[in-house]
């Protein structure tokens, strides 16, 4: 009810803030017999962590996970898996000056409005730090999906400001291409321009928005549940749980507004004895259920709200004031978004992989 769980058959429950003892995820529903160790969690945690390159926040957070339960002799036992990531770099003094001020674009005011109180050290529960255990849980989900169905999930930067990458075949993008540059854009020419732009806004004490594109391949046709737990709906919710996401679209997305049915309909064809579509305007789901085509979605990510420039705002008591958030912030959220987005997609797909087992007698 209070919103700290996600999923049904593969279900994560999380706790933790930017400060305090750490963040925890309990994963309920991982089937017994999956090989799993801490090493499986590290690559994605490393892609998510602060301080990894010059265009992200320079905070240092090790994000070292500990698997507390549910794994024995290198395999999952079928019981719930708890993963703990301790908080380490907690310079709470960075935040002391904002205790009574509402940072524009942040959840400071809305948390106060909700609870009558808030943990003013960093963002508390609204800090993006809570996503570290989601990424850990996503790594477990990815492992399960790879084992069961050879599914792969890749996220990358499609757009930063006005710079739009040219990626004609989202389903063909490889992790190597994405990780070949620090902005995580598989179009190397545009990647350079994006990096330059991010560097420019950083120097300008400003930030910049963008669009992340994420692709899941090898998802079998038939996943997703009518009416409310359509794959489209669960993925959409998953994306909107992530900080700073202002829009989500599939396939042609908002571009469908100007299309006619004859243009937009993807025609069914038989290829290699299986049913597929010529085009993928639908983004991999029809009636909200996977069609076997690649799932392609995009998220609009707003520019980082924390700025070291002075901005107008108000205090808790309703006095007009100014604020400059002196901490170390990402000038652009896009490079670190990919592993978070992938994790949430993996968690949704793992859930529906297990749910699909109950679909037929």
For its own copies, which is the closer residue by CB, 175 or 201? 201
The interface region with its own copies, picked from 42-50, 51-59, 165-173, 235-243 by CB under 8 A, is: 235-243
- Rule CB under 8 A: say whether 68 interacts with its own copies: yes
For its own copies, which is the closer residue by CB, 153 or 248? 248
Residue with tokens 């749980």: 241
Residue in 74, 93, 150, 270 binding its own copies, rule: CB under 8 A: 270
Q: Tokens in use for 305?
A: 């709200």
User: Dihedral angle at the C-alpha atoms of 142, 194, 103, 131, nearest 10 degrees?
Assistant: 10
C-alpha to C-alpha distance for 99 and 93, rounded to whole angstroms = 10
- Rule CB under 8 A: say whether 26 interacts with its own copies: yes
- Rule CB under 8 A: say whether 170 interacts with its own copies: no
DSSP 35: B
Q: Tokens in use for 149?
A: 């169905």
Q: How many residues bind its own copies (CB under 8 A)?
A: 164
Q: Are 345 and 216 in contact (CB under 8 A)?
A: yes
- Rule CB under 8 A: say whether 273 interacts with its own copies: yes
Q: Determine which helix (DSSP H) or strand (DSSP E) holds 341, and give its type and residue range.
A: helix 334-355
The interface region with its own copies, picked from 54-62, 169-177, 187-195, 253-261 by CB under 8 A, is: 253-261
- Rule CB under 8 A: say whether 179 interacts with its own copies: no
For its own copies, which is the closer residue by CB, 153 or 211? 211
For its own copies, which is the closer residue by CB, 59 or 302? 302
CA 114 to chain centre: 25
CB of residue 259 vs its own copies: minimum separation in angstroms?
5
Q: Which of residues 275-304 bind its own copies (CB under 8 A)?
A: 275, 277, 281-283, 285-292, 300-304
- Rule CB under 8 A: say whether 221 interacts with its own copies: yes
Q: Tokens in use for 120?
A: 């003013």
For its own copies, which is the closer residue by CB, 89 or 319? 319
The interface region with its own copies, picked from 44-52, 91-99, 172-180, 310-318 by CB under 8 A, is: 310-318
For its own copies, which is the closer residue by CB, 55 or 175? 55
For its own copies, which is the closer residue by CB, 175 or 297? 297
- Rule CB under 8 A: say whether 262 interacts with its own copies: yes
Q: Which of residues 103-162 bind its own copies (CB under 8 A)?
A: 104-107, 109-111, 113-119, 121, 123-126, 130, 144, 147-148, 159-162
- Rule CB under 8 A: say whether 70 interacts with its own copies: yes
Q: Tokens in use for 162?
A: 């006005």
C-alpha to C-alpha distance for 339 and 345, rounded to whole angstroms = 10
Residue with tokens 């050290």: 121
Task: Give the residues across from 286 on adjacent strands.
Answer: 289
Q: Who contacts 337 (Cβ-Cβ below 8 Å, separation ≥6)?
A: 155, 157, 212, 242, 244, 299, 301
C-alpha to C-alpha distance for 312 and 304, rounded to whole angstroms = 16
The interface region with its own copies, picked from 39-47, 90-98, 166-174, 316-324 by CB under 8 A, is: 316-324
For its own copies, which is the closer residue by CB, 10 or 175? 10
Residue in 54, 58, 60, 72 binding its own copies, rule: CB under 8 A: 72
For its own copies, which is the closer residue by CB, 138 or 224? 224
Backbone angles phi, psi at 343, to 5 degrees: -60, -45
- Rule CB under 8 A: say whether 82 interacts with its own copies: yes
Backbone angles phi, psi at 358, to 5 degrees: -100, 10
Report the b/e string of 90-120 with b at 16+ CB within 10 A: beeeebeebeebbbbbbbbbebeeeeeebbb
């Amino acid at each position: 009810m209070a919103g700290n769980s996600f999923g049904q058959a593969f279900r994560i429950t999380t706790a933790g803030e930017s400060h305090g003892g750490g963040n925890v995820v309990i994963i309920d529903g991982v089937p017994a017999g999956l090989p799993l160790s801490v090493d499986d969690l590290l690559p994605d945690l490393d892609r998510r962590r602060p301080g990894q390159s010059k265009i992200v926040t320079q905070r240092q957070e090790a994000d070292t996970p500990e698997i507390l339960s549910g794994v024995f002799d290198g395999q999952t036992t079928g019981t719930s898996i708890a993963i703990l990531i301790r908080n380490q770099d907690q310079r709470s003094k960075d935040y002391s000056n904002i205790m009574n001020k509402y940072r524009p674009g942040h959840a400071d005011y809305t948390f106060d409005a909700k609870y009558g109180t808030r943990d003013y050290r960093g963002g508390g529960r609204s800090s993006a730090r809570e996503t570290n255990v989601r990424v850990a849980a996503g790594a477990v989900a990815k492992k399960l999906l790879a084992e069961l169905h050879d599914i792969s999930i890749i996220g990358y930067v499609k757009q930063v400001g006005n710079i739009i990458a040219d990626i004609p075949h989202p389903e063909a993008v490889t992790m190597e291409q994405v990780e070949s540059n620090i902005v995580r854009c598989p179009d190397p020419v545009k990647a350079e321009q994006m990096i330059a732009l991010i560097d420019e806004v950083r120097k300008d004490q400003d930030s910049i928005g963008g669009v992340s594109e994420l692709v899941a391949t090898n998802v079998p046709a038939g996943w997703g549940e009518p009416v409310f737990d359509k794959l489209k709906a669960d993925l959409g919710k998953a994306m909107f749980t992530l900080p700073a996401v202002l829009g989500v679209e599939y396939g042609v997305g908002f571009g469908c507004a100007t299309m006619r049915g004859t243009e937009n309909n993807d025609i069914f064809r038989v290829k290699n004895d299986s049913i597929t579509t010529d085009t993928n305007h639908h983004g991999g789901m029809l009636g909200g259920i996977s069609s076997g085509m690649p799932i392609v979605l995009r998220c609009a990510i707003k520019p980082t709200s924390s700025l070291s420039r002075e901005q107008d705002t108000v205090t808790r008591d309703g006095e007009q004031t100014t604020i400059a958030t002196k901490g170390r912030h990402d000038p652009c959220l896009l490079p670190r978004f990919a592993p978070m987005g992938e994790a949430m997609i993996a968690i949704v797909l793992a859930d529906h992989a297990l749910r699909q087992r109950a679909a037929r007698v």
